[in-house]
Chain A
Amino acid sequence: MSREPYLLPNGRVLRYSFNERMIHWMAGLSYVYLLLTGLAFWSPWLFWIAVVLGGATTSRELHPWFGVIFFIAVCLMFRMWGAQMQETPEDKAWWNNVGHYIRNEDDKMPSAGRFNGGQKLLFWGFFWNAVALLLTGLVLWFPHWIPWSLRFLRLVAVIVHPIAALLTIGLFIIHVYMGTAMERGAFGSVIRGDVSRAWANHHHHTWFQQILRDSEARK
């Protein structure tokens, strides 16, 4: 990946390749469907969502299939980003300064690599919760296949599935807020794929400096 030309001819920086964007949206769109139909089953006050989406019977039929699509996307993300999401000493420094990050005191933030500590938390949070959601979701998909003697599987699933879903909802709210409202330029990076040099230098200094050094070395 590091051999790919990151500095684009238009003077911008490639942040996410076409593959990365595709997989991101495969996960993102399937997650939104899962979230909406899941919320409909979660609370009677939100049951109307399933009605809007074609009826609760349809939602019940499709929710597991979208879950499979989502899990495949998460697996592809793991293959694509897993190595880059390993924790580094930089992430520790990032978390120690997270208060500055929240208060937008970016000048006091330590330098971050391609993914900062918060993004890595998002990744691993989604990854492990997706594993839990898949395993419990399979039980909830076919509850009638579970014999009475193994009913503890159902009883574990009915409580673990919503807990894991709630954890992802917390991550999702922060992720969508940051990606659309808080970090100007971030949404464009996952749609068009590129960011400005200033953006790259500001938010992911270590990563951008590496790109500059790589490009010098290639000359």
Chain B
Amino acid sequence: MSQAATEIVRISGHAGSVPGAGLNREFRVAKLVDTTTCIGCKACEVACLEWNGYTFTETTFDNSYQTMPETAWSYWNLIKFNEHEREDGSMMLLMRKDQCMHCADPGCLAACPADGAIVQFANGIVDFQEANCIGCGYCISGCPFNIPKFSPEARKVFKCTLCNDRVSQGLEPACIKACPTGCLHFGTKLEMNELAETRAKQLREHSGFPDAGVYDPPGVGGTHVIYVLHDAKNPELYGGLPKDPTIPVTVQLWKHPLKWLGNLAIVGGLVGVFVHFLRFGPKEVIEDEPVTKGEVGEKR
């Protein structure tokens, strides 16, 4: 919010208008991934490892160009490959850079029970604060994109930070810096949306991709990583990008109606037994009550 502190809204004893008043400054940042110009070189994967201090470890070969089947706790950035045969019989090699989407309405944050373990900054970055993480893994259940990954060694969960440490210092994320084709862009959310729409229009009008479009799913309030896809009607083709991601319905039920119903029921139960005691008191047995010998089951 440091930028907000430099923006003047009112000036004392000042004749005329306030310079820059009414300026609409965009704090929100976004990463734009243009899947149509990605060549799958994986420079972003390496840059991510280097910047975040992870080393490459042995992985699983999955009969594809993909480095590993899915992102890992120490591997936050993965190019997903898919060989897709189109209706006309032609083949497309689809490549999509998979990482945290930095949802405006993050399911991980909604599901997290630990105070301060997940924060969302005004610029849209959703960041895990591992010092506060208790390792419960609820964020894994809350995420519609399969992003948070549990580290068995640290017993905490990790994911892409959108290079919060770089962005807060005015640098672009490491993956962006490494991209040789310019398919990765970083800027304000508005700029990136505009650029993405321009590119999608170009693809629709000049490159023979009538279904090209921008992936910025509204179900999670939009994301701070957006994609240009040749076929925006079938995002699943791009390594399982969900068509209409939302915070899972059971997570929403658990965190909203169930929580309030449950709290009401617990408090109601405690108040109920207390009032019962005030009204009816204990069941006392008169100790010199004659111990009758009667038939089993008879009504006394």
A210 touches B296 (CB 8 A): yes
Q: Which residues of B contact A (CB under 8 A)?
A: 70, 111, 113-115, 134-138, 140-141, 146, 149-150, 152, 155, 240, 248-251, 253-254, 258-259, 262-263, 265-266, 269-270, 273, 276-277, 280-289, 291-300
Q: Besides the contacts A43-B263, A184-B282, what 7 more A-B pairs have beta carbons closer than 8 Å?
A: A44-B113, A60-B134, A60-B136, A158-B248, A184-B283, A198-B285, A205-B300
Are B115 and A44 in contact (CB-based, < 8 A)? yes
For B269, list chain A residues within 8 Å (CB).
169-170, 173-174
What's the nearest-Cβ distance from chain B to residue A194, in Å? 14
Interface membership of A87, Cβ < 8 A: no
- Cβ of A199 and Cβ of B285 under 8 Å apart? yes
- Which single member of A106, A163, A166, A209 contacts B294 (CB below 8 Å)? A209
Picked from A158, A202, A208, A213, the residue with its CB within 8 Å of the CB of B141 is A158
Q: Does A5 contact B (CB under 8 A)?
A: no
Contacts A/B (CB < 8 Å), 28 sampled = A47-B115, A60-B136, A61-B135, A90-B297, A106-B283, A111-B300, A140-B136, A144-B137, A144-B152, A148-B70, A151-B146, A154-B140, A156-B250, A157-B141, A158-B250, A158-B251, A169-B265, A170-B265, A173-B266, A173-B270, A174-B273, A182-B282, A184-B283, A184-B284, A185-B285, A196-B287, A198-B286, A202-B289
In the complex the two chains form, is B113's CB within 8 Å of A103's CB? no
**Contact A155/B248 with A163-B258, A183-B282, A183-B283 known, Cβ cut-off 8 Å:** yes
Which residues of A are found within 8 Å of B136, using beta-carbon distances? 41, 60, 140
Determine the distance from Cα of A174 to Cα of B262 in the docked complex, in whole angstroms: 16
Contact B276 A102 (CB under 8 A): yes
| Chain B residues near A106 (CB-CB < 8 A) | 283
Contact of B262 among A103, A162, A202, A212 (CB under 8 A): A162
* Known contacts A111-B299, A111-B300, A166-B266; A155/B251 CB under 8 A: yes
Contact present for A206 and B296 (CB under 8 Å): yes
Q: Are A110 and B299 closer than 8 Å at their CB atoms?
A: yes
Secondary structure call for the B interface: loop
Chain B residues with CB below 8 A from A140, complex form: 136-138
| Least Cβ–Cβ distance between B4 and chain A, in angstroms | 27
CB contacts (< 8 Å) of A181 on chain B: these are: 273, 277, 282
CB distance from A212 to the nearest CB of B (A): 6
Q: Which chain A residue shows the least CB distance to B73?
A: A144
Q: How far is the CA of A111 from the CA of B92 in the complex (A)?
A: 79
Main secondary structure of the interface of A (DSSP, over half): helix
Q: A144-B150, A151-B141, A162-B262 are in contact. Are A198 and B250 (CB under 8 A)?
A: no
**Interface members, chain A 85-119 (any B CB < 8 Å):** 90, 102-104, 106-107, 110-111
Q: Which residues of B contact A163 (CB under 8 A)?
A: 258
A57 and B140: CB pair below 8 A? no
A15 at interface by CB-CB < 8 Å: no
- Kindly state the separation between the CA atoms of A59 and B134 in the bound complex, as whole angstroms: 9
Contact of A158 among B150, B254, B296, B300 (CB under 8 A): B254
Contacts of B295 in A (CB 8 A): 209
- Tell me the smallest distance from the CB of A114 to a CB of chain B, in Å: 12
How many angstroms between the C-alpha atoms of A34 and B292 in the bound complex? 43
B152: chain A residues within 8 A (beta carbon): 144
Q: A169–B262 Cα gap in the complex (Å)? A: 10
Using Cβ atoms and an 8 Å threshold, which residues of chain A touch B298? 111, 205
Note all chain B residues with C-beta closer than 8 A to A199.
285
- Any chain B CB within 8 A of the CB of A124? no
Q: Report the minimum CB–CB distance from A147 to chain B (whole Å).
A: 9
Taking the closest CB of chain B, its distance from the CB of A35, in whole angstroms, is 10
Residues from chain A with a CB closer than 8 A to the CB of B292 are 201
Q: Closest B residue to A50 by CB, please name it.
A: B134
Q: Which residues of B contact A177 (CB under 8 A)?
A: 273, 276-277
**Which one of A40, A166, A183 has the greatest number of beta carbons of chain B within 10 Å?**
A166
Of B137, B249, B277, which is within 8 A of A182 by CB?
B277
Chain B residue numbers with a CB within 8 Å of A148 are 70, 146, 240
Q: Which of B134, B277, B284, B295 is the most central at the interface, judged by chain A CB atoms within 10 Å of its CB?
A: B134
The interface residues of chain A lying within 8 Å CB-to-CB of B253 are 159
The answer for the CA separation of A43 and B267 in the assembled complex, in Å, is 14
Measured CB to CB, the nearest residue on chain A to B284 is: A184
